[in-house]
Amino acid sequence: MNFRYDTLGLARRLIQEESVSPADGNCQQIMDDFLSALGFTVEHMPFGPVKNLWASRNNGSGPLLVFAGHTDVVPPGPLEEWLHNPYGAVVEGDTLHGRGAADMKGSLAAMLTAAARFIDECPDYGGTLGFLITSDEEDKAVDGTVKVMDELQRRGEQIDYCVVGEPSSNMKLGDVIRVGRRGSLNGRLTVRGVQGHVAYPKLARNPIFEFAPALGDLVREIWDNGNDFFPATSFQISNINAGTGASNVVPGELSVDFNFRFSTESSEAELKARTEAIIGRSVSDFSIKWHLSGPPFLTERGNLIPAVQEIIWQMLNIETELSTSGGTSDGRFIAPRGVELIELGPCNATIHKVNEQTSIKELHQLSDIYERIIYSLLTDD
């Protein structure tokens, strides 16, 4: 079937592929067929179980504009709670139902049809249009976008502008675009005590008691005050585990999983040092295993942000909000390499939920916005 201008049909076809991360189903081959027909050079870059696609269409001197996204989705959850088959791509009125409708197969379809219309209408554009697609965004995110970016960097290919199709909108399409993201730093703390009988506390050292003062200090600590684009850095604990299950045994070890969502006002090194210093005030024997999911990033105002703001105003009569809210995204692997990047996509009210859905009207509008972005950056129009 020819989906050249059929945003809804293409979105439905992609949703029908079961692609729970890191699986891709057949999504990237569908995209390959579409882009190849438009004259793109398409490369498949698999790493481990992850499928990645890099496609580019060079049309002479000019900037490299890339649309980035992911074909993987989160699991559907309890199937009996869905109104429709999560992979059925059911249409009801203006609503498209299905896992990935908003996050982010609808965006992928809108990107592709925007590119098709642009190339047909403006074959003499200047520059390069690209697509960077992965099946490793929703889970570990170690063999996806970051690996493709490493390969592009090795080749000397520098992306100038990037639009990530993450569902940035809140109440209606275009009301929010993301121009950055907070960093995410994870830690697993192990506090070592001495196991013993609860009736003989002098012969034991309770790691829970040792950590308790530090817990209060960590919760009360003001890590920073944020800035104009980022809220203050936050500290959260997700898991605390200790004990043998017996009521008469002092545990010998305590483990704590925690996370920082941090602004550009704090660095990874600073957060690590301050955390270890606070814990060290009350805990005698501990260690922390750290994992940085991604540093914070903020797109500087260049050509991309003003162009997108103006396009959204002209097309939707909305003064869009510039935001850094939300969790991490693959933008963290792209923006720090000197790329002007924004995230713009459908409304996010139902993402990762049972009965995920999106507005069909807004999908068509999104495709039109994407096309105008291409025009703005790759032509003099």
Task: Using alpha carbons, select from 166, 161, 152, 177 the residue that is nearest to residue 320.
Answer: 177
Residue 2 has a pLDDT of 67
| Known catalytic residue at 217 | no
**Does residue 82 sit in the same domain as residue 204?**
no
Angstrom distance (rounded) from CA 348 to CA 141: 20
Q: Is residue 2 in a domain?
A: no
Determine what percent of the chain falls in helix, strand and coil, rounding each to the nearest 5.
30, 25, 40
Residues 200 and 282 in one domain: yes
329 shares its domain with 354:
yes
Provide the residue range defining the domain that includes 188: 183-294
The answer to whether residues 46 and 135 belong to one domain is: yes
- The domain boundary residue, chosen from 265, 294, 323: 294
Q: How far lies 280's CA from each of 245, 283, 288, 300, in Å? A: 27, 5, 11, 38
67 φ, ψ (degrees, to nearest 5): -95, 130
Q: What is the 3-state secondary structure (H, E, C) of 144-183?
A: CHHHHHHHHHHHCCCCCEEEECCCCECCCCCCEEECEECE
Residue 310 maps to a domain:
yes
Q: Can you tell me the distance from the alpha carbon of 194 to that of 24, in angstroms, rounded to the nearest whole number?
A: 48
Pair (105, 216) in one structural domain:
no
- Same domain? For 157 and 206 the reply is no
Mean pLDDT by 10 residues, the chain (381 residues): 86 98 98 98 97 96 98 97 98 98 98 98 96 96 96 97 97 97 97 98 97 98 95 96 96 98 96 99 98 91 95 98 90 94 98 98 98 96 67
Domain boundary among 294, 322, 350: 294
Which of 24, 32, 103, 137 is catalytic? The answer is: 137
Q: Which residues make beta-bridge pairs with 52?
A: 134
CATH number at residue 152: 3.40.630.10
- The pair phi, psi for residue 249, each rounded to 5°, is -125, 125
Residue 83, burial from CB neighbour count under 10 angstroms (0-12, 13-18, 19+): exposed
Catalytic: which of 17, 24, 32, 72?
72
Question: Do both 328 and 365 map to the same domain?
Answer: yes
Residues 301 and 238 occupy one common structural domain: no
Tell me: do 144 and 174 sit in the same domain: yes
| Domain stop point among 270, 294, 318 | 294
Domains in the chain: how many in total?
A: 2
In a domain, residue 315? The reply is: yes
SS3 sequence of 17-48? CCCECCCCCCHHHHHHHHHHHCCCEEEECCEC
What angle in degrees, to the nearest 10, is found between the helix axes of 105-121 and 360-378?
50
Does some domain include residue 1? Answer: no
Q: State the CATH number of the domain containing residue 188.
A: 3.30.70.360
- Annotation says 371 is catalytic: no
Block residue for tokens 């809210």: 325
Tell me, yes or no, whether 48 and 169 share the same domain.
yes
Query: Residue 301, SS3?
Result: coil
Say if residue 115 is in the same domain as residue 166: yes
40, 130: one domain: yes
